[in-house]
Chain A
Amino acid sequence: MPHDEKKPWQSLAALRGDPAELARAEREFAEELPVGPGAIASGHAHGALVQLRSGGDVSRRGFFGLMGLSAAAVGIAACQRAPVAKVVPYLSEPDGIVPGVSNWYASACAGCDAQCGVLLKSRDGRPIKVEGNPEHPLSQGGVCAVGQASIVSLYDASRARAPLERGQPIGWDALDAKVLAGLEDARSKGKAIRVVAPLRTGPTFESTLAQFLAAWPGARVARFEPSGELTALADAHQAAFGARAVPSIHLDRARTLASFACDFLGSWVAPVAFARQYAKGRALPLIEREGGKLGQAEGAPPDFARRHWQLEPALSLTGASADRRHPLAPSELVPALGGLVRRLALRSMHPDRAAIANALPRASEPRELAAPLDALAAELSASGAQALVLCGASDLTAQALCVAANQLLGAYGTTIDIASGASLPAADLPLAQLFTELEAGQVGAVIFLGTNPVYAHPDGEKLAELLARAPLSISTADRLDETARDVALLAPDHAPAESWGDSEARRGLTTLRQPALMPLFETRAAVESLSAWSAGKKHTQHELLCARAEAELYPRALHKEPRFDLFWTRALHDGFVETEETPLPASFSVAQLGSLFALPLATPSDTELWLHSSVALRDGRWSNNAWLQELPDPLTKTVWDNAACIAPARATALGLDDGDLITVTANGRSITLPVLVQPGTHPATLAIAIGYGRTAAGNIGNGVGVNAFPLLSGRGPARNFIEARLVKSGGQKPLARSQTQASLEGRPHIRTATLAAWSADPGASNPEEEKLDSLWSGHEYPGHRWGMAIDLGSCTGCSACVISCQAENNIPAVGRDEVSRGREMHWLRLDRYFAGEPDSPEVLHQPMLCQHCTNAPCETVCPVLATVHSSEGLNQQVYNRCVGTRYCANNCPPKVRRFNWFEYRHDDPVERLALNPDVVVRSRGVMEKCSMCVQRIQEGKALARRDGRPLADGEIQTACQQSCPSQAITFGDLNDPNSRVAKLTRDARAYRLLHELNIGPVISYLTRIKNTGA
């Protein structure tokens, strides 16, 4: 298998490891006495790692693993006394750390630019879990898959461990000396000093950058955003309002929502916050049903006018949730938007309606969209200010048209707001110009601040060559990535969880980042590097942050505190600060906006490339993350690869089938990748996810999929679509997919109804369960009876729960080959089905996990009692009793049991730090499955018992529930009739999977309600 060397997750690789490694790999349990943290706390980062190896060979599984080799070995080995184990206590215990007790630190997620507020669960000094910060105004407790998985990126073995010069270790002082010398040299020679910074950073970062620029006159900053979506958005708003900012959006206020290829639930701007708003806006009242009688509605009645339209080239997570969805070609985006604006202008009373209408691009929308656009325009203008038009394309004209549409609707101020938007730094130097300067040899020094244009810029290859012409080139990447490989000096940045920082989520809301562990390696925060390279005294990141906070946040904070230190303590505890801010100065100017309409349009063609971010990998920043690579794409269910999605009709026309290799050519560049026949794709569209095909991401991400960025126009990623040519290049690359069957075969596992039908009968398409007879009387469950309810109406399929579960329960990633053999290990999976027309199908998502059946079929068949029921109604799986007959899995109707086919590796001393010490790491040959986070249940009960109080409803949250951005999952005690879960279970929408088998699941699903229909 070619992947072995690259991916330790490749099952068989475990065997290839040398004996010592094997022995270590056998550790069943990552728990360490506080050696590591102790060492970390006393500043011996490496000491920690050395220590962590100890004990690897003392576990029982140490010999069980090797045992397979000879049965006799077992006999003898198993009866030895346990080898000597050491206990290494702290010398002096650091404040607030009690070995075995978790601490929680409020911080900011760095998964994407949304910068959600998170809580880092830190055990014995090492973060082991990312959870949402429920108090954070925007994310409100949700975290997406990327955020969850960032814990793996923190312990990524491929991170740079020290500053490097051309790959060779070099001390920080030496590095700083070289940098300063180089900068000085550049200044003296009058050569340019250039910085390539991310588009969206934080205030402190910006101010430090400003200091740097001040220190080096003539130095200029180029901003680089791989996907280009924020750039387009901000540019459009700058043109329209003169304010270069990301507007703050309130989906919950939008009654009519028109989204043009905008994947706001999946990857656009701030998916978690949007998902929360979206779910809030569409929440249905709870109506209990008992023996056909309906109870009182609990909660606000639904808004029947509320409808979400999605027009997009390829199926997106957002499109999957839409009430109405229409495929359109990428090149039709602008015409369609134009058509919409024209229609709105006719209906609008807006003073500038005429001006806008006249400025509109001439291209008229495709005929088949005329009718939908009429209807959409009607609904939008009916909703007026409570309507919202969004566009996800990083295309300036399209974004400008969106602004126009919202302006005509008067949406600004209600559903979308520029005044409270998060302002972005003014565009200083276009990246294109840096190229020319480099070519001309005018650049004396170029610094890449955590940007990786060599990979993510269409002309990255060219840049790689040009970099040689700069006397001084530096990168602050956290690893030797594509760009860092080609620069002279690597000044590795901390991982987010190791660093301080702040970010402006929206105007007046600052999210604070605080570290949860000492740096694992000899890295240094980028801001510290910047300040070190600026003139004057160098500051630590903490100093820089505090200084800014004291100067700017403290005076204007909403929560007044008598002293700054009190304020600061509170701020760090909360993880964010709200300040009184004057609204962004924003005045609408139609002229400026109109000028954008005039931009050249994409030429329609029969093959148009549509590049989009995938839910898991986004722009490829975290490609070296096995969890994200193995997270099945919510829509294609592929893992470890990106494919070219093509419409079924087109595929048959071209004689293409899943896995056939094609060569896509655009701008004279070609890539070869497998096709995937994906319903809901526009016939002219070829949809490819960006973020793949990294060459220097690390041992996991390298060579996974193909890099699509080079196909983009040379003008930089201002557009994410372009006409292309498609050639069947022959050959096959079978895709690894976690689910191959797309149709439900008419089975009632997922129930759906229209809002109209539901309002007529809350139990629509969900007949009440009839009582089934049983031979047995069953068992009593006094005390607690745990159960769960999953609202399919809220679930968007974003898969945050999958990764959350993986992080909480030490679930291994097994690699492409194993997944293609149908052996992925996820305890919680998201089933995805298509229904209806293949050109724009209805997409059904269903989180599938152990149903903890009351009459569990798996339990009856286990010969050794390795899976039995607990007194609280949980279906327990006892790994250390399991002999691995797999009978239970065969007899499990939803097939949610997972078998350890091999010894999966958990032996990397760094990667192992991510393991949760409260959950056993399973050995080869045993069955495992969802435990409903029993460790959390026990912990919650223990806490309540210690405080001598009854357990409160909602106090215990399962991992999946905690991170769910749309709060679709509810866990609790079914024995408590007033618990939320008990009520939901009695809801008229509630049904249980395969009830007719009389297995009695304790998990209820709630019918999915959509507002289709006229």
Chain B
Amino acid sequence: MIKTCLLALACASLAACDNGFLTQQGYEPAQPIAFSHALHAGEMKMNCQYCHFGAAQSRHAGVPPANVCMGCHKNVKTGSPEIIKLTQAVAENRPIEWTRVHRLPDFVWFSHQNHVAAKVACQTCHGPVETMARVQQVNTMTMGWCLECHRSIAADPANAGKLNPPTDCSACHR
């Protein structure tokens, strides 16, 4: 009996998670280096894929290697305390441990490449990153949320023949 009650409790709370009451939405962790997308992508209008070059060719957009940052910061704002953290890391040959913001469950297969190829704007999923001093997860990123987009695009006659985002399970779960 008690087991059943516990089970019921468990189910109830799991059900709650199911309903997306508890997602990572709004997650906005501090980063080892206070890198500002608002500054780089916003004010300076740098292309997302200049740093996240993986997005076009791989499932991972990837966090840029330190040497990409150093490309500019060898001579730009070398004095700033944040940049100094970076230069030190490079000097010590120590990789920088960024805190991951967007993280799909392990059983979900997602490909940035496919979405970039389909000309989906980064903001569609990641929100207005160019306005964020510190990156935040703006969307729920639940399965339903993904499907919403896939379905609406597939349903739009304008995309017929050009785009047909799959709604097959094996598109993401394999």
Which A residues fall within an 8 A CB radius of B?
27-29, 31, 33-35, 38-39, 42, 59-61, 70-76, 78-79, 81-82, 84-93, 98-101, 868, 870-872, 874, 876, 878-881, 918-920, 931, 934-935, 938, 942, 945-946
Q: Which residue of B lies closest to A80 (CB)?
A: B22
B170 touches A876 (CB 8 A): yes
A33 touches B96 (CB 8 A): no
Residues B93-107 near A (CB distance < 8 A): 93-100, 103, 105-107
Contacts A81-B24, A87-B98, A91-B90 given; does A99 touch B60 at CB 8 Å = yes
- Residues in A neighbouring B27, C-beta threshold 8 A: 81
Is B146 on the interface with A (CB-CB < 8 A)? no
Contacts A86-B99, A934-B170 given; does A880 touch B107 at CB 8 Å = yes
A938 touches B59 (CB 8 A): no
Contacts A87-B99, A942-B113 given; does A98 touch B169 at CB 8 Å = no
Is B47 on the interface with A (CB-CB < 8 A)? no
In the assembly, what is the distance between CA of A42 and CA of B94, in Å?
10
In the assembly, what is the distance between CA of A881 and CA of B89, in Å?
43
A-B contact pairs, 8 of them (CB 8 A): A71-B10, A90-B67, A91-B94, A92-B66, A878-B169, A879-B107, A918-B109, A918-B174
Contacts A871-B166, A876-B168 given; does A89 touch B174 at CB 8 Å = no
A27 touches B62 (CB 8 A): no
B17 touches A78 (CB 8 A): yes
For the complex with contacts A74-B10, A74-B14, A879-B173, 8 further pairs of A-B residues with Cβ separation under 8 Å are A60-B107, A81-B27, A88-B97, A91-B89, A98-B58, A98-B62, A876-B170, A920-B174
**9-residue interface stretch from B1-9, B36-44, B77-85, B120-128:** B1-9
Number of B residues with CB within 8 Å of any CB on chain A: 54
Q: How would residues 42 to 74 of chain B score, 1 for a CB under 8 Å from any chain A CB and 0 otherwise? A: 000000000000100111101111111000000
Question: Which of A89, A918, A942 is B63 in contact with, Cβ under 8 Å?
Answer: A89
- Residues in A neighbouring B67, C-beta threshold 8 A: 90-93
Question: Which of A72, A101, A872 is B9 in contact with, Cβ under 8 Å?
Answer: A72
Contacts A75-B14, A918-B174 given; does A101 touch B95 at CB 8 Å = no
B22 touches A87 (CB 8 A): no
Question: Which of A60, A73, A88, A946 is B95 in contact with, Cβ under 8 Å?
Answer: A88
In angstroms, how far is the closest chain B Cβ from the Cβ of A625? Answer: 26
Question: Which of A38, A72, A91, A920 is B173 in contact with, Cβ under 8 Å?
Answer: A920
B95 touches A876 (CB 8 A): no
In the assembly, what is the distance between CA of A826 and CA of B103, in Å?
31
Residues B142-174 near A (CB distance < 8 A): 166-171, 173-174
- Residues in A neighbouring B14, C-beta threshold 8 A: 74-75, 78-79
In the assembly, what is the distance between CA of A299 and CA of B13, in Å?
64
Is B12 on the interface with A (CB-CB < 8 A)? yes
A75 touches B106 (CB 8 A): no
- Residues in A neighbouring B171, C-beta threshold 8 A: 938
In angstroms, how far is the closest chain A Cβ from the Cβ of B106? Answer: 3
In angstroms, how far is the closest chain A Cβ from the Cβ of B23? Answer: 9
In the assembly, what is the distance between CA of A42 and CA of B98, in Å?
19
- Residues in A neighbouring B63, C-beta threshold 8 A: 33, 87, 89
In angstroms, how far is the closest chain A Cβ from the Cβ of B150? Answer: 12
Q: Which residue of B lies closest to A939 (CB)?
A: B111
In the assembly, what is the distance between CA of A942 and CA of B6, in Å?
46
Question: Which of B17, B24, B60 is A33 in contact with, Cβ under 8 Å?
Answer: B60
In the assembly, what is the distance between CA of A876 and CA of B169, in Å?
7
- Residues in B neighbouring A84, C-beta threshold 8 A: 29, 99-100
Most chain B beta-carbon neighbours within 10 Å: one of A89, A92, A919, A945: A89
B60 touches A931 (CB 8 A): no
In the assembly, what is the distance between CA of A39 and CA of B93, in Å?
10
B10 touches A75 (CB 8 A): yes
A79 touches B17 (CB 8 A): yes
- Residues in B neighbouring A61, C-beta threshold 8 A: 106
In angstroms, how far is the closest chain B Cβ from the Cβ of A114? Answer: 33
In angstroms, how far is the closest chain B Cβ from the Cβ of A882? Answer: 10
Which B residues fall within an 8 A CB radius of A?
3, 6-7, 9-14, 16-17, 22, 24, 27, 29, 54, 57-60, 62-68, 89-90, 93-100, 103, 105-107, 109, 111, 113-114, 117, 166-171, 173-174
Most chain A beta-carbon neighbours within 10 Å: one of B60, B65, B106, B167: B106
A86 touches B97 (CB 8 A): yes
In angstroms, how far is the closest chain A Cβ from the Cβ of B67? Answer: 4
A942 touches B12 (CB 8 A): no
- Residues in B neighbouring A874, C-beta threshold 8 A: 168, 170
In angstroms, how far is the closest chain A Cβ from the Cβ of B161? Answer: 11
In the assembly, what is the distance between CA of A918 and CA of B170, in Å?
12
Contacts A60-B106, A101-B57 given; does A72 touch B65 at CB 8 Å = no
In the assembly, what is the distance between CA of A876 and CA of B170, in Å?
6
In angstroms, how far is the closest chain B Cβ from the Cβ of A557? Answer: 34
A81 touches B22 (CB 8 A): yes
- Residues in B neighbouring A39, C-beta threshold 8 A: 95
In the assembly, what is the distance between CA of A73 and CA of B10, in Å?
7
In the assembly, what is the distance between CA of A73 and CA of B6, in Å?
9
In the assembly, what is the distance between CA of A817 and CA of B6, in Å?
34
In the assembly, what is the distance between CA of A212 and CA of B29, in Å?
60
B174 touches A934 (CB 8 A): yes
B13 touches A71 (CB 8 A): no
- Residues in A neighbouring B107, C-beta threshold 8 A: 28-29, 60, 879-880, 920
- Residues in A neighbouring B106, C-beta threshold 8 A: 27-29, 31, 59-61, 920
In the assembly, what is the distance between CA of A90 and CA of B89, in Å?
11
- Residues in B neighbouring A918, C-beta threshold 8 A: 109, 174
A89 touches B99 (CB 8 A): no
Contacts A60-B106, A71-B3 given; does A42 touch B170 at CB 8 Å = no
Q: Which residue of A lies closest to B60 (CB)?
A: A100
In the assembly, what is the distance between CA of A942 and CA of B111, in Å?
10
In the assembly, what is the distance between CA of A85 and CA of B29, in Å?
10
A90 touches B65 (CB 8 A): yes
In angstroms, how far is the closest chain A Cβ from the Cβ of B124? Answer: 19
In angstroms, how far is the closest chain A Cβ from the Cβ of B119? Answer: 12
B16 touches A79 (CB 8 A): yes
Contacts A87-B63, A89-B95 given; does A82 touch B10 at CB 8 Å = no
7 nearest CB pairs, A to B:
A75-B10, A29-B106, A100-B58, A92-B67, A75-B13, A90-B65, A870-B168
In the assembly, what is the distance between CA of A93 and CA of B63, in Å?
11
- Residues in B neighbouring A881, C-beta threshold 8 A: 169, 173
In the assembly, what is the distance between CA of A942 and CA of B3, in Å?
48
- Residues in B neighbouring A946, C-beta threshold 8 A: 113, 117
In the assembly, what is the distance between CA of A76 and CA of B103, in Å?
21
- Residues in B neighbouring A59, C-beta threshold 8 A: 106
Q: Which residue of B lies closest to A946 (CB)?
A: B117
Contacts A74-B14, A920-B174, A938-B171 given; does A880 touch B105 at CB 8 Å = yes
In angstroms, how far is the closest chain B Cβ from the Cβ of A865? Answer: 9
A82 touches B113 (CB 8 A): no
- Residues in A neighbouring B105, C-beta threshold 8 A: 60, 880
In the assembly, what is the distance between CA of A881 and CA of B143, in Å?
12
A79 touches B65 (CB 8 A): no
In the assembly, what is the distance between CA of A1008 and CA of B89, in Å?
64
In angstroms, how far is the closest chain B Cβ from the Cβ of A862? Answer: 12
Q: Which residue of B lies closest to A62 (CB)?
A: B106
- Residues in A neighbouring B117, C-beta threshold 8 A: 942, 945-946
- Residues in B neighbouring A28, C-beta threshold 8 A: 106-107
In the assembly, what is the distance between CA of A90 and CA of B93, in Å?
10
In the assembly, what is the distance between CA of A717 and CA of B75, in Å?
70
In angstroms, how far is the closest chain B Cβ from the Cβ of A935? Answer: 5
- Residues in B neighbouring A35, C-beta threshold 8 A: 95
B6 touches A91 (CB 8 A): no
Contacts A76-B13, A78-B17, A879-B107 given; does A88 touch B169 at CB 8 Å = no
Most chain B beta-carbon neighbours within 10 Å: one of A61, A75, A76, A881: A75
In angstroms, how far is the closest chain B Cβ from the Cβ of A945? Answer: 6
- Residues in A neighbouring B57, C-beta threshold 8 A: 98, 101
In the assembly, what is the distance between CA of A870 and CA of B24, in Å?
30
In the assembly, what is the distance between CA of A71 and CA of B93, in Å?
46
In angstroms, how far is the closest chain B Cβ from the Cβ of A866? Answer: 9
